[in-house]
């Protein structure tokens, strides 16, 4: 096959026609300078790969020495993973500047395009990776590089025209594919900026000791909701969408919220109510009955939909906010952290009850968590079937330290003192009476 026959193939003709439309010509593609430019590109790729392999281990060893600077370490790790594109861009720029100096600009067109694409990808992939949300990061990187590539190749006006052609009309507003794409990109960018600003302000509020925890959470949530609404409104206004055109969908949206989002809206409003009345706030020790049983723990986080309660087992139970509105909740630290514990203790009827009461009170004298005021007491609650029922009452002011463990410690001290004084803790006793109208004959062996 001759060169003329090869160039006459349909697919090759289409490729050449496309390259010609973006600035290439047959003389540019098949010239001596084109071969030189492609050789420079291949050499730059090979050298960049070699350099990447050479510096990877030394850079990794240096990064392992960085401690306590998470932001700096993350920044350098992102740069390390893109070191190949950095080397490639630097070499392509060097080759392009050399060719531009020694020959006509048309003889360095290919290397200029490749340099622009490689450099743009390095910059966009680096800065987009600084966004912690992986989905948004990749989406921004792909869209930004796609637009940049079309601009470098000179195809951006054609792409805009093609996207603007495809569309439909709602009322007096024309919605095109270009409008949807622009509004989507702008919306994602503004939402990301709103979340970033909200997180920054929330961090600043968290460091303020003059504001109560519940007010901090409330301000953070209201501010985030306001910034997100502002981002949506601004993005729609920026692309020229008339809000009156959206009135057609307001009924459907209302029905959707009423049916599909009923629970979400209920939990969101319940969370706002909890923050306003301060009945539940981060750090509180609570006890609540749920479908899986009683949950006792510390309120870690008040979310828009749920409240995170950390239990003594180290697990976190996510409880919908509306449960706190509809169900009784025991808040051990709502207005006062002092909590009274009542421990039932039984002693035998042969016991010196006054001595037993004295020992019960003595058992808690050396326990630091037990408060001296209010004064602990031990009462006789009644006379049971097998024992005299006593009840030891004392107060603690640190329920976040646990209540079952303090009860266990007191019981252990009572047990030691009772054992030392030979005081019996009786077990259940029953009298068995046998009644029968039939005589029972007892025979003995002779």
pLDDT tens-place string over residues 139-155: 777 877 787 777 777 77
Q: What is the pLDDT of residue 415?
A: 92
Q: What is the pLDDT of residue 96?
A: 82
Angle 210-216-219 (CA atoms, 0-180°, nearest 5)? 125
Q: What is the pLDDT of residue 60?
A: 80
Q: What is the pLDDT of residue 3?
A: 45
The neighbouring-strand residues paired with 395 are: 340
Q: Is pTM, for the whole model, over 0.75? A: no
pLDDT surpassing 60 at residue 29: no
Q: What does the pLDDT average to over 249-266?
A: 62
Both ends of the chain: CA-CA distance in Å? 128
Question: Residue 64's CB: how many other CB atoms inside 10 A?
Answer: 9
Q: What does the pLDDT average to over 5-27?
A: 52
pLDDT surpassing 70 at residue 23: no
Contact 369, 398 (CB under 8 A): yes
286: confidence class by pLDDT, cuts 50, 70, 90? confident
Digit-coded pLDDT (tens) for 207-249: 776 666 666 766 777 788 788 878 877 776 766 655 555 555 5
393: confidence class by pLDDT, cuts 50, 70, 90? very high
Q: What is the pLDDT of residue 372?
A: 87
Contact 421, 359 (CB under 8 A): yes
Lowest mean pLDDT among 99-108, 167-176, 299-308, 358-367: 167-176
Q: What is the pLDDT of residue 220?
A: 76
Rounded to the nearest integer, the mean pLDDT of the chain is 76
**Region label for 433, one of left (φ > 0), alpha (ψ between -120 and 50) or beta (otherwise):** beta
Q: Per mean pLDDT, which of 254-258, 272-276, 378-382 is the most reliable?
A: 378-382
């Amino acid at each position: 096959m001759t060169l003329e026959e090869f160039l006459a193939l349909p697919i090759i003709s289409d490729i050449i026609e496309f390259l010609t439309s973006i600035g290439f010509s047959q003389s540019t593609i098949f010239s001596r300078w084109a071969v030189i430019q492609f050789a420079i590109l291949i050499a730059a790729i090979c050298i960049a790969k070699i350099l990447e392999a050479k510096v990877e281990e030394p850079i990794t060893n240096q990064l392992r020495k960085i401690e306590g600077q998470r932001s700096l370490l993350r920044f350098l790790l992102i740069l390390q993973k893109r070191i190949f594109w950095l080397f490639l861009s630097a070499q392509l720029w060097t080759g392009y500047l050399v060719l531009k100096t020694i020959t006509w600009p048309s003889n360095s067109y290919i290397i200029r395009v490749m340099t622009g694409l490689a450099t743009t990808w390095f910059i966009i992939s680096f800065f987009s990776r600084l966004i912690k949300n992986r989905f948004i990061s990749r989406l921004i990187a792909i869209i930004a590089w796609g637009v940049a590539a079309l601009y470098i190749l000179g195809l951006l006006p054609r792409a805009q025209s093609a996207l603007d052609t495809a569309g439909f009309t709602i009322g007096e507003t024309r919605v095109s594919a270009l409008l949807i794409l622009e509004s989507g990109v702008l919306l994602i960018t503004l939402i990301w900026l709103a979340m970033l600003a909200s997180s920054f302000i929330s961090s600043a509020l968290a460091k303020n000791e003059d504001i109560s925890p519940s007010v901090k959470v409330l301000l953070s949530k209201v501010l985030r909701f306001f910034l997100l609404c502002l981002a949506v409104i601004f993005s729609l206004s920026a692309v020229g969408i008339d809000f009156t055109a959206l009135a057609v969908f307001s009924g459907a949206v209302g029905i959707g919220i009423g049916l599909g989002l009923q629970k979400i809206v209920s939990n969101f409003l319940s969370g706002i109510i909890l923050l306003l009345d301060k009945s539940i706030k981060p750090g509180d020790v609570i006890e609540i009955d749920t479908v899986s049983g009683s949950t006792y723990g510390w309120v870690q986080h008040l979310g828009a939909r749920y409240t995170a309660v950390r239990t003594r087992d180290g697990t976190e139970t996510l409880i919908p906010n509306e449960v706190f509105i509809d169900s009784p909740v025991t808040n051990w630290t709502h207005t006062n952290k002092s909590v009274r514990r009542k421990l039932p203790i039984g002693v035998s009827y042969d016991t010196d009850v006054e001595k037993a009461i004295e020992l019960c009170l003595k058992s808690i004298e050396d326990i630091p968590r037990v408060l001296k005021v209010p004064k602990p007491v031990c009462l006789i609650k009644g006379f049971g079937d097998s024992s005299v029922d006593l009840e030891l009452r004392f107060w603690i002011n640190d329920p976040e330290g646990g209540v079952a463990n303090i009860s266990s410690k007191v019981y252990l001290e009572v047990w030691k003192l009772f054992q030392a004084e030979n005081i019996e803790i009786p077990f259940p006793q029953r009298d068995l009476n046998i009644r029968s109208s039939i005589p029972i004959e007892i025979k003995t062996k002779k």
